[in-house]
Structure formats: structure tokens, C-alpha cells
């Protein structure tokens, strides 16, 4: 136990000590960790990993959609990513009659591939722009610095992208504002669904198994990116042709053993491993528990309606999955942070820093200032979570809030007819999209519950003036909940659902009519209360934290200057590389988890008709016949479904390729394990595991279960 806490303390000292920890910038691999990667087993040269002058692995890695990773696996632009990353596109392509989400889908040929709204980005290059940004920022702090940073980032991006819709760029902060990198991307907007397993495979285990090991989920989907006939990025066109990629990943079906080298390229979303003890305590005391409580309520009402009707299940599937995923994550994160006393470990590191900083004017007051900043914000932290996860957790209130832009246009005395017409048209389009996804019954229950919970949990002096007094005055029956009656009244009287009222408003749009709408009036009561009284407090808190964090990181590097070169920055949804090993682990006394799960384990969990553990009849027939094809593992005489590695990943890495020492694809990363859900704030060298779907299971599902051998034939298999 003492050894364990020592390792955590070293991690929290903010400098990397173990090869498995770290999300490394590919541009800097050669000067930071390449030698260590080779010692661990890597067989490739640095330029095979990242190069701007020749084809390299980085050219096969894509940002998939808005928050996932994908990889190119054929010379015809074929993409592998996670099922949950393609979930929304699969749901949108589905109907009750052709339910690809439920039944699965594999295109018989390219002409049957289905258009999606997804776009993908290929990394073109990375540049260090620290000097330029720092010159623009000068010695500013707070809001002034934040505004100058936005201006500097925008200026650089505009220079790079211009008006080209097929280019994108971002300037990101590293080490809390001590360094800035420019990332430039090529954008492809014609991406089509090629195939996906049935949801009973792609989400096998559901919420019960989410973030857990052992895990038996076939979390994959297949897409293809297209280009114009002249080889350029293009919007969707029937004349487009499959992408000819700079690089694609060969696919290994040779298998692996416990201890083998593993490497992951991808786009980890966010970590905050240089967070302070104050931030950890705010998370465990307020932010996480309130979020979990509100999401638990929303999920309960959504699930209840989804179980009543297949059409509703399809309608809410994507939203439910998204909400549920991080509901469980933040519940687990809180438990792990408390279990391993991450707060106490952070405090030890900070005490050490304060002792070093004594007498150094630039650093000696950092932690007393941190304390003041958190004390000033803490009374309003619950309000902030309630606005994001509660009030805006009602789809109706979130949609109604979007009318504020229309109100601003209508309020302008000099607004032109063109401006008003544009605002009205935007509102019409937004309403169409809202109604398509809206389930009134669950949303009405969510609204009633969140109004009750807000009134209970938020201090009276922070509530919208007069809102609850008016609610109880209008609905004061002792026979029915006033919150339920209020919510019913909002849903019955808003023009959001009433076509006649909406058309009357569109014909004669006025601010008075908008402000009188039941949904808009409710939404704005909370939004305006937040905007007038609390958003400035939140901005001041964030800006001060940014200033203190920048100085703290600077001080840490000054304290240990030799270690900066071997330190990785927090994840920020830019391309990173992590490396480690396929590896079993022992989560607690007398329990050891193997490094793989098999098809036999899937069959053993099968529960006929169950929402989370049902299986297709064809799956069971193939399993009983032991029809494994060339995809069975030689040692286990079974299909390996999933495996675990020690790689360091986080959200955004979903769909990332898991590569062997030769850069060949062996799996797709899709989850972390429950015992290490503190990984956003503190990496655990002993318990951290990345859960991956084995590419051999992916191919078995495509070939044997899906009957799409032609897709497998497109790949470069390494046997």
C-alpha cells in the first residue's frame, strides 16, 4: 500500500515516471520517448510514426465526427471506428421498417453505402506558435488575456484556412498556457455508412458492463470517406470516388500474448492531471454528484418511454447513450478519487511546492490565491451544474432558449427585413430538428422533476426572482404535484408543439408574443437569472484559475527544469500517441483478470429478450457450430472478443487504432476500466487499463455474422 501511494504522489508531482503513462505529441516523439518505445518493443522508425514529408501512421488517423477517432484501413478509404461513435449516423439511417441500429447493416457494394452527416479530418501538420501567441498576449491576465488569446488564435487560423471549407485549423494551449501549437487539417465531408453489427453486438452489456472489465462488447462500425474525381475533398456527390489515402493500416490476425507491445494513436479529448487539490474537492463534493443525480433522473424518464415503443427507442437511442456514458463515468470517478485520496496526494505535492516557492514573489502566493478563488466560487457551483445538466437538460427548455437570438433581432429598431427573415428561417429549421428528436412524455417528466430538484437544492436567494412564488400561486392543489401541473401547462401551451400558434407567430413575429410563450418564459427565467447574476462570477473564477494554473506550471518547470522535456501536456483533442503493453491485472486481493475475453464469454452472458444481453439467433448458431473461420485465436481455440492494454487514453480516443510493434492494427480502443476512472485527474500505473475490441472479432462479425466477406477482402491482412 505504501508503494502504491508513493507512485501516485510521483504522478501528482506532475512528471512522468512510467512508460505506460502519457499522451505524447507525435511531432516530438523522437526527442521525448522514442528510445523508450523501442525498448518496450516498437519496431518502427520515427518517420514511420509521424512525418510531413512522407507517408506515416499519422496519415491514417482521423478525427471522426465531432468527438471520436477513426482509422483508414484500406486503399479505398475504408474507416474503422467504434459503434458508439457511429451510433447517431446509424440511428439516422434507420427507420422502424429498416432498423439498422437494431438489426445491423452491411452494404452489399459501394452503391449501397448510406450518406451521413459526418465529416472527418486528417492531420496535415503541427507547428509551434508559442512565440507569436505570447507576443500578442504580453503581460496581461484575466479577461483581457482571455480576449487577446481568442483574437490571436482566430488570426492564425484565418491566415491558414482563409475561406476554404475543406481546411480547418486550431491553436491549442499546452501546459495551461505556457505553450501553444497550431494543428492544420484537411476536411472531407462525404462520409458514408458501410456497415455496423446489430446493437445487441455493438452495445452488448449496455450500461451494466459500461466501464467494466471483463467486457464483451463488439464496439465497431465501418464507414468510407469519398473525394472528388480530381482527388480533392468535396461535399457529398454521387460522382465522388473512394478516397485514395496517403497511408492505411494493415490488419493483423496473428494475435498477441500477455505482455506484447501496444501503441495507440488518436484524439484524447481532455484531461486535467495538473489540477489542484481545490479542483479535486470541488469535483468530489459538488460537480460530479450533482451531475450524476441530474443525469440519473433524465435517464430514468427516457428509459421508461423507450421500453414502451420501438420507434421511441430509436428516436432517443443516441441521446440516451450519450447521457448514460458519462453518468456512470463521473459516478466512478468520484468513488476512485475518494478511495485513493487523490485530494490528499495533491495536497502533499502543493505543500512541497509552497515550501520551494517561499521568498519567490512570482510563486509564493499562488496557493493562497487558489484558496480565495475557490471559496468565492463554491457557493455557486451547484447552480452552474443545474443550468447545464438540469434546466438545459430538458430538450424543450434548451430549444426554447435558442429563441433568444430571434428575440434580439426582433428587438432591434433598425433590423432589416432580410435580418428578420433569416432569423425566422433559422428558427423554423431549428424547430423541425427539435420536433424530430423530441419525446414529449419523457421531457415533460424531466421538466417537472428538475423544477422540483432546483427548488430543493438551490438556495432561495439564487433562484429566479418570483418564479416559484408564481408557480405555487397558479398551481396550489394538494391533490397533484404543482411541478407536474406546471410542466403539463408549459407543454400544452407552448407554440413549439402547436402548429397553428407557430404559424400565427411566423406570420407576425413580435417580441411580445415570444416573451409570452410558456416554454420561452420558463427557459428565460433561469437563463436570464444565470446571465445577470452568475455568469460573470463563473468567468472570473475560470480566468483566475487559468492565470494561477499557468504560473503554477511555470513554477513547477522552474523547480525541476530538466524534467520539462520528458513531460506530456494534458489532452485537448489533438493527436497523441500512447504506448504500453497488452496486460492482465489484479484489481483486488485474490482476483486476477485475464487480458482477453472470448466469444464463449459472450454466449455465457446471453439472456434471451434482455435489453442489454440478448443476442441474434445467427450469432448463437455460428457459435454453436464453432464457425470461427480464420479469426480464431490459436491458443484459446476461440474468437477473442476484447482485450486490455496499459495504454493511456481518455474520451475522444474512442475508435482509436490499437497497433502492435510493427504498426499493424490489432484492435480498436473503446473504454477504460472502472478501477481507474480517476484517470482524467490522476493516472494509475497499476490499475489503468484500456479496453479494446479485437480486430479479429470485428472481421468475424463482418464476414460470418454480416455476410460481408467483400469488406474483409478489401483489407491488407497480415497472417
CB atoms closer than 10 angstroms to residue 244: 11
CB atoms closer than 10 angstroms to residue 412: 10
What is the DSSP-derived secondary structure letter of residue 638?
A: B
Looking only at the bridges linking them, the beta strands covering 179-188 and 221-227 are unpaired
Provide the H-helix boundaries in 166-222: 199-202, 206-209
CATH 2.40.10.120 describes domain 1-119+189-273+570-719: yes
Provide the pLDDT for residue 18: 43
d(CA 241, CA 234): 10
Provide the pLDDT for residue 9: 31
Q: Is the dihedral of CA 129, 130, 135, 137 positive or negative?
A: positive
Strand partners, 185: 123, 168
Looking only at the bridges linking them, the beta strands covering 251-252 and 717-718 are parallel
Provide the pLDDT for residue 541: 98
Contact (CB, 8 A) for 27 and 129: no
Q: What is the pTM of this model?
A: 0.90
CA distances 270 to 87, 181, 185, 239, Å, are: 21, 16, 19, 38
Closest CA to 650 of 270, 262, 358, 106: 270
Contact (CB, 8 A) for 312 and 304: no
535-559 vs 366-377: helix crossing angle, rounded to 10? 160
CA distances 670 to 68, 133, 495, Å, are: 10, 35, 42
Backbone angles phi, psi at 164, to 5 degrees: -80, 115
Is the peptide bond prior to 214 cis by the omega test (within 30 degrees of 0)? yes
d(CA 281, CA 346): 10
- Exposed e or buried b per residue across 505-528, where buried means at least 16 C-beta atoms within 10 angstroms of its C-beta: beeebeeeebeebbbbbbbbbbbe
d(CA 382, CA 146): 25
Q: Which residues are catalytic?
A: 84, 219, 654
Provide the pLDDT for residue 564: 67
Q: Is the dihedral of CA 197, 201, 207, 211 positive or negative?
A: negative
CB atoms closer than 10 angstroms to residue 416: 10
Q: Where are the domains of the chain?
A: 1-119+189-273+570-719, 277-536
The ranges of the chain with pLDDT < 50 are 1-19
Instruction: Kindly report, residue by residue over 654-685, the tens digit of the pLDDT.
Output: 999 999 999 999 999 999 999 999 999 999 98
d(CA 249, CA 699): 15
d(CA 478, CA 639): 61
Closest CA to 84 of 613, 597, 668: 668
Q: Is the dihedral of CA 83, 86, 88, 90 positive or negative?
A: negative
d(CA 302, CA 316): 7
d(CA 659, CA 265): 8
d(CA 696, CA 636): 13
Closest CA to 483 of 500, 473, 471: 471
Q: Is the dihedral of CA 240, 202, 328, 265 positive or negative?
A: negative
Question: How many CA atoms are closer than 13 Å to the CA of 317, on its beta-carbon side?
Answer: 31
Provide the pLDDT for residue 480: 80
Provide the pLDDT for residue 98: 95
Contact (CB, 8 A) for 565 and 394: no
Amino acid at each position: 500500500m505504501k508503494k502504491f501511494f508513493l507512485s501516485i504522489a510521483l504522478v501528482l508531482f506532475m512528471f512522468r515516471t512510467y512508460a505506460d503513462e502519457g499522451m505524447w505529441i507525435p511531432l516530438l516523439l523522437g526527442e521525448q520517448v522514442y528510445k523508450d518505445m523501442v525498448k518496450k518493443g516498437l519496431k518502427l522508425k520515427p518517420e514511420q510514426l509521424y512525418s510531413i514529408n512522407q507517408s506515416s501512421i499519422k496519415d491514417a488517423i482521423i478525427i471522426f465526427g465531432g468527438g471520436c477517432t477513426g482509422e483508414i484501413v484500406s486503399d479505398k478509404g475504408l474507416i474503422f471506428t467504434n459503434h458508439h461513435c457511429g451510433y447517431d449516423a446509424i440511428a439516422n439511417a434507420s427507420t422502424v421498417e429498416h432498423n439498422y441500429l437494431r438489426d445491423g447493416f452491411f452494404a452489399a457494394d459501394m452503391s449501397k453505402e448510406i450518406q451521413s452527416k459526418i465529416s472527418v479530418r486528417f492531420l496535415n501538420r503541427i507547428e509551434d506558435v508559442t512565440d507569436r501567441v505570447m507576443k500578442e498576449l504580453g503581460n496581461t491576465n484575466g479577461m483581457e488575456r482571455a480576449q487577446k488569446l481568442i483574437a490571436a488564435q482566430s488570426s492564425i487560423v484565418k491566415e491558414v484556412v482563409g475561406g476554404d471549407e475543406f481546411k480547418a485549423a486550431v491553436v491549442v494551449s499546452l501546459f495551461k498556457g505556457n505553450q501553444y501549437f497550431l494543428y492544420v487539417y484537411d476536411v472531407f465531408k462525404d462520409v458514408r455508412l458501410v456497415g455496423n453489427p446489430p446493437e445487441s453486438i455493438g452495445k452488448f452489456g449496455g450500461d451494466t458492463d459500461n466501464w467494466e472489465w471483463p467486457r464483451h462488447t463488439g464496439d465497431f462500425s465501418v464507414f468510407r470517406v469519398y473525394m472528388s474525381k480530381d482527388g480533392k475533398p468535396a461535399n457529398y456527390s454521387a460522382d465522388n470516388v473512394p478516397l485514395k489515402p496517403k497511408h492505411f493500416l494493415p490488419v493483423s490476425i496473428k494475435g498477441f500474448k500477455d505482455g506484447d507491445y501496444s501503441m495507440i494513436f488518436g484524439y484524447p479529448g481532455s484531461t486535467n492531471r495538473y489540477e489542484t487539490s481545490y479542483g479535486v474537492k470541488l469535483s468530489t463534493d459538488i460537480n460530479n454528484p450533482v451531475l450524476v443525480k441530474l443525469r440519473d433522473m433524465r435517464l430514468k424518464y427516457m428509459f421508461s418511454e423507450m421500453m414502451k415503443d420501438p420507434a421511441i427507442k430509436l428516436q432517443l437511442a443516441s441521446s440516451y447513450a450519450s447521457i448514460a456514458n458519462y453518468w456512470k463515468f463521473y459516478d466512478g470517478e468520484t468513488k476512485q478519487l475518494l478511495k485513493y485520496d487523490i485530494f490528499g496526494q495533491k495536497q502533499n505535492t502543493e505543500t512541497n511546492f509552497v515550501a520551494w516557492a517561499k521568498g519567490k514573489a512570482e510563486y509564493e502566493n499562488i496557493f493562497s490565491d487558489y484558496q480565495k478563488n475557490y471559496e468565492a466560487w463554491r457557493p455557486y457551483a451547484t447552480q452552474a451544474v443545474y443550468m447545464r445538466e438540469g434546466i438545459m437538460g430538458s430538450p424543450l427548455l434548451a430549444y426554447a432558449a435558442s429563441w433568444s437570438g430571434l428575440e434580439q433581432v426582433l428587438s432591434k429598431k433598425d433590423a432589416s427585413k432580410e435580418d428578420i427573415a433569416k432569423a425566422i428561417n433559422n428558427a423554423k429549421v431549428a424547430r423541425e430538428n427539435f420536433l424530430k428528436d423530441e419525446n414529449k412524455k419523457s421531457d415533460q417528466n424531466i421538466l417537472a422533476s428538475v423544477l422540483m430538484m432546483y427548488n430543493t437544492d438551490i438556495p432561495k436567494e439564487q433562484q429566479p426572482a418570483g418564479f416559484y412564488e408564481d408557480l405555487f400561486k397558479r398551481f396550489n392543489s394538494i391533490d397533484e404535484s404543482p411541478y407536474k401541473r406546471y410542466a403539463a401547462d408549459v407543454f400544452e401551451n407552448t407554440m413549439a408543439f402547436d402548429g397553428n400558434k407557430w404559424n400565427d407567430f411566423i406570420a407576425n413575429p413580435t417580441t411580445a408574443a415570444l416573451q409570452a410563450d410558456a416554454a420561452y418564459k420558463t427557459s428565460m427565467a433561469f437563463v436570464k437569472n444565470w446571465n445577470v447574476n452568475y455568469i460573470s462570477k463563473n468567468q472570473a473564477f475560470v480566468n483566475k484559475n487559468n492565470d494561477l494554473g499557468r504560473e503554477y506550471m511555470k513554477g513547477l518547470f522552474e523547480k525541476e527544469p530538466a524534467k520539462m522535456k520528458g513531460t506530456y501536456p494534458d489532452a485537448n483533442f489533438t493527436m497523441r500517441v500512447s504506448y504500453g503493453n497488452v496486460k492482465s491485472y489484479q484489481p483486488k486481493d485474490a482476483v486476477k483478470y485475464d487480458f482477453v475475453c472470448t466469444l464463449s464469454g459472450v454466449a455465457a452472458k446471453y439472456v434471451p429478450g434482455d435489453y442489454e444481453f440478448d443476442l441474434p439467433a445467427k450469432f448463437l448458431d455460428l457459435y454453436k457450430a464453432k464457425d470461427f473461420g480464420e479469426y480464431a485465436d490459436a491458443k484459446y481455440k476461440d474468437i477473442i472478443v476484447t482485450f486490455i492494454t496499459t495504454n493511456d487514453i481518455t474520451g475522444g480516443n474512442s475508435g482509436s487504432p490499437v497497433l502492435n510493434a510493427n504498426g499493424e492494427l490489432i484492435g480498436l480502443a473503446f473504454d477504460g476500466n472502472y478501477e481507474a476512472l480517476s484517470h482524467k485527474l490522476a493516472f494509475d500505473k497499476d490499475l489503468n487499463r484500456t479496453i479494446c475490441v479485437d480486430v479479429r472479432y470485428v472481421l468475424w462479425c463482418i464476414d460470418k455474422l454480416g455476410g460481408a466477406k467483400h469488406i474483409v477482402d478489401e483489407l491488407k491482412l497480415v497472417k
